[in-house]
Amino acid sequence: MKILFYDTKNYDRESFEACLQNFSDITIEYTKSDLDPRTAALAEGFDAVCAFVSSDVSTQTLEILHEKGIRLLLMRCAGFNNVDLDTAGKYDIRVMRVPGYSPEAVAEHAMALALASNRRLYKSYNKVRENDFSLSGLMGFNFYRKTAGIIGTGKIGAAMCHICRGFGMKVIAYDVYENQALKEFVEYVSLDQLLSDSDVISLHCPLMDSTYHIINIDTIRKMKDGVILVNTSRGALVKTDDLIEGIRMHKFAGVGLDVYEEETNNVFEDRSDEILEHSTTARLLSFPNVMITSHQGFFTREALEAIATTTLQNAVDFLAGKASPNDVK
């Protein structure tokens, strides 16, 4: 099987090449171009393409991939809302994903954002670099015996629940599908109760119609004053303009974001300073209690190895005609 790998970064190539030695029937060609209607024609002569959550796998893209004989779309990520599944089904293009690669990696990063926002670590670091060792503006609060509200309790959300429990926090959660394995120490509550009772709120749900802008001005007003909000899941779970309004209302003690609404893969690449200056991400960066990282929650050696292994195994299962729990239906 020949796979065209779109939007290649150095770490992608390294992790996939290391795993390829265990998959002798697969060859990969890498391109830095992302998948969209302009680049889909590059797939001519290949059997499958490998794309990311930032790729444009819309109707037009899939039509071109179909014309080029592509039978398999490998998403090297959990998200697939950028894929026109109806068109993929129409053209019998199988879509497979990596539903879980290292849930602990993302959950650990979520807690890192929560802690850094709470204890003002970024501000403290910058102050000390300027030889200012004063404690002014660095006050935080103990997480011990506080309430953590986890929205979404799949693999990553479950890992976050365990981390919060380890900090001695009371853990409450909201999910349409309750995780029975967590019931020993997690209390499932309504979304409204989670918003009103939580000292730390962490988002770990997929982006769907029902979760789009789940954090908006109405839900923000239901939160405690001085809450910490963390999002390592999908940017569009949060309505950015409303988040900015909430920050200006002094609703948040801290906000930690690893994803953002206007994000593509590496949101700051190939963008002018003028565009960045007026972006909502830049506006968020202007607030001293907001910490933003570069969608690095997944970025550990273990996670990259798991992504590569699962993606290549998906290709093997396709070749063998095997059903897979990683099929997107």
Q: How does residue 262 score in pLDDT terms, banded at 50, 70 and 90?
A: confident
Q: 218 and 312 share a domain?
A: no
Tokens of 215: 């954090």
61 pLDDT more than 90: yes
Same domain, 276 and 307: no
Q: Is residue 326 situated within a structural domain?
A: no
d(CA 148, CA 188): 12
CA 140 to chain CA mean position, Å: 26
Residues 240 and 315 in one domain: no
| Same domain membership, residue 269 and residue 143 | yes
CA distance 174 to 153: 8
Residue 252 φ then ψ, to 5°: -105, 135
Mean pLDDT of the region 135-147: 97
Shared-domain flag, residues 24 and 75: yes
- Residue 12 — very low, low, confident or very high, per pLDDT cuts 50/70/90? very high
Helix (H) or strand (E) holding 241: helix 240-248
Tokens of 257: 């974001």
Across the range 8-35, mean pLDDT stands at 97
Residues 159 and 203 in one domain: yes
The answer to whether residue 266 scores a pLDDT higher than 50 is no
Residues 176 and 284 in one domain: yes
The verdict on residue 39 lying in a domain is: yes
- 146 within some domain: yes
Provide the mean pLDDT of the chain.
94
Classify residue 236: in a domain, yes or no.
Answer: yes
Report if residue 325 sits inside a domain: no
Query: Is it the case that residue 276 has pLDDT exceeding 70?
Result: no
Indicate if the pLDDT at residue 270 is higher than 90: no
Same domain, 51 and 136: no
Q: Is residue 329 part of a domain?
A: no
Active site residues: 234, 263, 295
CB atoms within 10 A of CB 112: 18
Look at the chain and report how many structural domains it folds into: 2
Domain of 47, CATH number, reads 3.40.50.720
pLDDT tens per residue across span 44-57: 999 999 999 889 99
End-to-end CA distance of the chain: 23
Condensed to tens digits (0 to 9), the pLDDT of residues 81-95 reads 899 999 999 999 999
Q: Are residues 137 and 259 in the same domain?
A: yes
What pLDDT digit, counting tens, does each position of 181-226 carry? 999 999 999 999 999 999 999 999 999 999 999 999 999 999 999 9
Whether the CB-CB separation of 300 and 260 falls below 8 Å is answered with no
pLDDT at 264 over 80: no
Give me the pLDDT at residue 272, please: 41
Does residue 127 lie in a domain region?
yes
Nearest alpha carbon to residue 204 among 181, 175, 224, 227: 175
| pLDDT at residue 282, as a whole number | 82
Encode pLDDT of 144-174 as tens digits.
999 999 999 999 999 999 999 999 999 999 9
User: Tens of pLDDT along 297-312?
Assistant: 999 999 999 999 999 9
pLDDT at 320 over 50: yes
SS3 state of residue 162: helix
Residue 278 has pLDDT above 70, yes or no: no
Residues 107 and 95 in one domain: no
Report the C-alpha gap between 319 and 296 in whole angstroms: 32
Reply yes or no on whether the pLDDT at 277 is more than 90. no
Q: Give the global pTM.
A: 0.88
**Pair 183, 118 in one domain:** yes
Provide the phi-psi class of 119: left if phi over 0, else alpha when psi is between -120 and 50, else beta: alpha
- Residue 256 and residue 188 in one domain: yes
Residue 327 placed within a domain: no
Q: How high is the pLDDT of residue 263? A: 66
Task: Tell me the residue range of the domain where 91 lies.
Answer: 2-101+300-319
Tell me the residue ranges of DSSP E strands in the chain: 2-5, 27-30, 48-51, 72-75, 94-96, 147-151, 170-174, 186-188, 200-203, 227-231, 252-257, 290-292
